[in-house]
Amino acid sequence: MILPLSCQRFSFAGAKTLKTKAATSKADASGDAHSRERKFDLGALLGFRLSKLSASIGNLAAQEAGEVAGLTLPEYRVMVVLRSRGPAGVVALQQIMLIDKAWISRTISSLVAKGLVAAAADPADARRTSFSVTPKGRRAADALIERAFKRQGRVLRGLTQAEAGHLMALLARIQENVDQEGA
């Protein structure tokens, strides 16, 4: 059961102290300074935990992207999306990755220059450009995807297949909840 912050007591190392107006007034009346402080653990916030986990996994992916294909993390991410989803334009990539279009454009330009991605007129709308992996890009992306699955196995070490599947389902449900909040 998740309790509201006012009902929780956190004793994790590195906890921050919050002072509430009500607690301060009560403490001032009683003269007890300790009672007006409440410990707060940033790790108790789902957003913080997920952000930290994402950054940690991203660092592992960046290291492997450099080792396997000489790519940066943004280049790696675009390559994997193009390989797994097929040709896409900048707007589609932006919607899939939830990243700024200018950032995607710069990343695509770098991948085109490296011969990993090819640009072509979008068959649905000649005013737009569609990007796809080249044969060289396909080999690099396939190697990166293989490494990603191995990395995921290491990250999920200690979980049963059922637990890992349950975790993925819970994350999908949380994503749906967040998407509904933003709608």
Which string of DSSP letters, residue by residue, matches 45-97? SHHHHHHHHHHHHHHHHHHHHHHHHS--HHHHHHHHHHHHH-SB-HHHHHHHH
Q: Closest Cα partner for 118 from 104, 99, 100, 138?
A: 138
Compute the chain's Rg from CA coordinates: 23
**pLDDT at res. 26:** 52
**pLDDT at res. 34:** 54
Which residues make Cβ contacts (< 8 Å) with residue 12, sequence separation at least 6?
39, 41, 43, 44
Which SS3 state, helix, strand or coil, does residue 132 take? strand
pLDDT (mean) for 139-166: 96
The residue with tokens 């997920």 is 50
Q: Which two tokens stand for residue 114?
A: 């490296």
Which residues make Cβ contacts (< 8 Å) with residue 63, sequence separation at least 6?
none
Backbone phi, then psi, for 146, in 5-degree steps? -60, -45
pLDDT (mean) for 76-94: 95
Beta carbons within 10 angstroms of residue 40's beta carbon: 17
Q: Which two tokens stand for residue 92?
A: 């589609």
Q: Is the pLDDT of residue 72 over 90?
A: yes
Q: What is the pLDDT of residues 34-49, one digit of tens each?
A: 555 668 888 889 999 9
Distance CA(156)–CA(19), nearest Å, equals 38
Distance CA(18)–CA(36), nearest Å, equals 8
Fill in the amino acid letter for 12.
F
pTM for the model? 0.72
Which residues make Cβ contacts (< 8 Å) with residue 28, sequence separation at least 6?
36
Q: Which two tokens stand for residue 19?
A: 């002072």
